[in-house]
Chain A
Amino acid sequence: GNSVTQMEGPVTLSEEAFLTINCTYTATGYPSLFWYVQYPGEGLQLLLKATKADDKGSNKGFEATYRKETTSFHLEKGSVQVSDSAVYFCALSVPGNTPLVFGKGTRLSVIA
């Protein structure tokens, strides 16, 4: 079946630190991969996506590269800010089977 595994949190970093949140997947077919962010008390917002191997999604300083050989889509940011504190969800969608499959989420706390 299709599944997403992401590193468990919580992750606590100091402002301007480097962030990596690992995400690996298993899927039938060729999935599209997503990172969503959920700020406290809010719904999910699409952060970035990649639809094929070697694509790099980027937004707001965050990046993730679709690695087919390692079935990974790790999220990175070079310098985090307090405002990045949120829960980050890795997700996949397989063509023809559009419901998203989510990882369990990783809570990030950035302290000043």
Chain B
Amino acid sequence: GAVVSQHPSRVICKSGTSVKIECRSLDFQATTMFWYRQFPKQSLMLMATSNEGSKATYEQGVEKDKFLINHASLTLSTLTVTSAHPEDSSFYICSAEGQKQETQYFGPGTRLLVL
């Protein structure tokens, strides 16, 4: 099946710093990528949908100035958590959808811990 990677897999940072998470589709072109957030023992919450070359669409309640999303190419989307705070600590998961829009393929996730 299709492969989606995320980097880094785990990051620890100090409060107030910014963290960038990369999501790559390795063997297919992803016209759409999704960013999710998962709190411990809870389901995934969609944060935003990004289409290559256009601005991301954020879900209600998600601060677009805090969670910057860039989808510059058909194989790469980045999520930057700006001025991170401890409450931003979470598991961030991306998914990518190919041009046929049949199935989303998920990355392995990035665990962010803000101290």
Residues of A within 8 A of B (CB): 32, 34, 36, 42-46, 49, 51, 89, 93, 98-100, 102-105, 107
Contacts and interface: CB of A to CB of B under 8 A. Distances in A.
Given A99-B46, A99-B49, A45 B106 contact: yes
B93 A44 contact: yes
Interface in B51-89: none
Contacts, number: 46
Nearest to A36: B106
10 contacts: A32-B102, A43-B108, A46-B106, A49-B103, A98-B49, A98-B101, A102-B43, A104-B43, A105-B42, A105-B43
B103 A46 contact: yes
Contact of B42 (A32, A36, A99, A104): A104
Contacts of B97: 98
